[in-house]
Amino acid sequence: MPSETLFFKFEADFVESLRCIPMQVRLKLDTCGVKLKLSHWHQLTQAERRSLTQLPCSTPAEIDHYRQQLQQRVTHHSGAPAEELPIDPQPAWLEGEIPAQVEARAASADAEISAQQWQLLSPTQRFALLKLSRPSHESQNFVPALREFGLLP
């Protein structure tokens, strides 16, 4: 995962304020195994939120540092660390096959993602589609993400 800050166009309505957790931070949370609630995110200062978008989280040392920094900030504001989750050693967004939930959600939007198109997406784009296709997610940004990623006209 590149360390530069990457926001998607479909996130534009909240990027300036960072009132929602952006996809790049969600990816880092899954990478370091922390379940950050939106209530935790709202307790962080604007500078802390911005910092979490910029901190690298790719190598084992960076992942450990990211987790430590995040947990220190959450504990400082809430009195307790965020829940930690197991880290998937083979996350679906890094796999070659399109996850069934992404295919199903795309089909419901009258879109079809080919294996080649899936391979051409960046891991962050694949992660976003996976998260946006979850049944528990309102997925209002799924179609805008498909358009942004060149999968729908």
Residue 15: inside a domain, yes or no?
yes
Domain C-terminal end among 84, 112, 129: 84
Domain of 139? 92-148
Q: Do 27 and 69 fall into the same domain? A: yes
Question: Is the pLDDT confidence value at 2 over 50?
Answer: no
pLDDT in tens, 23-76: 999 999 999 999 999 999 999 999 999 999 999 999 999 999 999 999 999 999
Confidence of residue 1 (pLDDT cuts 50, 70, 90): very low
Residue 2: inside a domain, yes or no?
no
Q: How many domains, in total, are found in the chain?
A: 2
Residue 137: inside a domain, yes or no?
yes
Spatial distance between the Cα atoms of 27 and 41, rounded to a whole number of angstroms? 15
Confidence of residue 4 (pLDDT cuts 50, 70, 90): very low
Is the torsion defined by CA of 31, 10, 18, 133 positive or negative? negative
pLDDT in tens, 75-131: 999 999 999 999 999 999 998 899 999 999 999 999 999 999 999 999 999 999 999
> What global pTM score does this model have?
0.89
Tell me, what's the pLDDT at 140? 85
Q: Do 102 and 56 fall into the same domain? A: no
Residue 4: inside a domain, yes or no?
no
